[in-house]
């Protein structure tokens, strides 16, 4: 049986209107016959184009952040209700760039996760350790803590509407990919930890992606690992030829 994979592109702060419209038209065609779940998270201003070109297509789309309040005096912020106006399927929450540059905390990540779930938007919860934390052998401790806090008050029945992304900070945008064994080790640990938290018997419903310098050359190696359900792809998703190779990866279980 073919493994069900999720390949989600994170545009970060890249592209302008003249890049994005041809991209959307092309990805819609390229992803038409793939059996994988393909998605892109675009900058807020381009959600209108994502809706226009990708609504009812094979390509899921969403944003890279949201605010957990419904409305109010929060200059520069965007609410889940606003994302729903564009029929967003998903939203990235707690990306390490937001944790590092914009003071995103485990508590705000948790509020955002709850808000996304109550708004029927799939949260893609990012967790990952720094290089120093890995060197100090603290990877599991750091990740368990991030996951536990992100999932506070999340009900067991909502777990199947959550996607997790393990993104070691030292591998993001650095070209330094985690080895498939390193990624597998942490992702299988994440699945077991969530099972323990929720007293689940099986890890089947838990989806965990790997993110950090995944590209068209190393994707198969990573995606064939038993616990890895897909990838969150930054740099390589900007080039549709590369992203196309990644999202057409076929792995037999
Ligand atoms: P990268 O980014 O693929 O460019 O390393 C991944 C991410 O930050 O989600």
Q: What are the pLDDT digits (tens) for 15-28?
A: 999 999 999 999 99
176 or 139: which leads in pLDDT: 139
Q: Ligand 1 pocket by C-beta < 6 Å: which residues? A: 10, 167, 172-173, 211-214, 232-236
> What's the confidence (pLDDT) of residue 173?
84
Q: How far is the CA of 209 from the centre of ligand 1 (A)?
A: 12
Probe residue for ligand 1, chosen from 234, 236, 238, 243 as the CB with the greatest number of ligand atoms within 8 Å: 234
- Only one residue has tokens 């419904």, namely 70
Out of 95, 104, 133, 216, the active site residue is 95
Atom of ligand 1 nearest to the CA of 174: 5
Report the atom number in ligand 1 closest to the C-alpha of 212: 5
Q: What is the pLDDT of residue 174?
A: 85
**Mean pLDDT, rounded, for 226-249:** 97
Q: Distance between CA atoms of 125 and 164, rounded to whole angstroms?
A: 5
Predicted model pTM: 0.97
Q: What percent of the chain has pLDDT over 70?
A: 100
Inter-residue contact 150 to 124 (CB < 8 Å)? no
pLDDT of residue 168: 96
**pLDDT at residue 175, rounded to an integer:** 83
How large is the average pLDDT for residues 118-131? 97
Helix (H) or strand (E) holding 132, with range, is helix 131-135
Question: Tens digit of pLDDT for each residue in 165-205?
Answer: 999 999 988 888 889 999 999 999 999 999 999 999 999 99
Q: How far apart are CA 210 and CA 227, in angstroms?
A: 10
Instruction: State whether residue 109 is helix, strand or coil.
Output: helix
Kindly give the interhelix angle for 106-118 and 139-150, rounded to the nearest 10 degrees.
40
Residue 243: its pLDDT value, please?
98
CA angle 152, 231, 133 (to 5 degrees): 60
Average pLDDT of the chain is 96
Spatial distance between the Cα atoms of 54 and 47, rounded to a whole number of angstroms: 10
Catalytic-labelled residue, pool 97, 129, 133, 167: 167
Q: Helices in 158-224 by DSSP H: which ranges?
A: 180-198, 219-223
Q: Which atom of ligand 1 is nearest to the CA of 213?
A: 5
pLDDT of residue 29: 95
Q: For residue 1, what pLDDT band results from cuts at 50, 70 and 90?
A: confident
Angle, CA of 78, 13 and 227, to the nearest 5°: 90
Segment 52-73, tens digit of pLDDT:
999 889 999 999 999 999 999 9
| pLDDT value at residue 141 | 98
What band does 99 get if pLDDT is binned at 50, 70 and 90?
Answer: very high
Of residues 78 and 55, more confidently modeled: 78
Catalytic, 167? Answer: yes
């Amino acid at each position: 049986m073919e493994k069900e994979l999720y390949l989600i592109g994170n545009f970060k702060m890249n592209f302008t209107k003249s890049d994005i419209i041809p991209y959307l038209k092309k990805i819609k065609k390229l992803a038409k016959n793939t059996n994988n779940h393909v998605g892109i998270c675009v900058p807020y201003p381009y959600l209108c184009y994502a809706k226009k070109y990708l609504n009812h297509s094979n390509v899921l789309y969403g944003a890279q952040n949201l605010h957990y309040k419904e409305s109010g005096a929060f200059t520069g912020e965007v609410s889940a209700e606003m994302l729903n106006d564009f029929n967003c399927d998903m939203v990235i929450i707690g990306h390490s760039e937001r944790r590092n540059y914009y003071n995103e905390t485990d508590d705000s990540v948790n509020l955002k996760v709850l808000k996304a779930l109550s708004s029927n938007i799939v949260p893609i919860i990012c967790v990952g350790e720094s290089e120093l934390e890995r060197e100090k052998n603290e990877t599991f401790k750091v990740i368990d803590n991030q996951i536990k806090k992100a999932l506070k008050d999340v009900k067991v029945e909502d777990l199947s509407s959550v996607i997790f992304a393990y993104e070691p900070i030292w591998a993001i945008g650095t070209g330094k990919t985690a080895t498939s064994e390193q990624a597998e080790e942490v992702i299988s640990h994440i699945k077991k930890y969530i099972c323990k938290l929720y007293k689940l018997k099986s890890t089947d419903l838990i989806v965990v992606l790997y993110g950090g310098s995944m590209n068209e050359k190393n994707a198969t190696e990573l995606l064939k690992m038993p616990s890895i359900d897909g990838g969150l792809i930054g740099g390589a998703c900007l080039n549709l030829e590369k992203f196309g190779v990644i999202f057409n990866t076929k792995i037999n279980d």
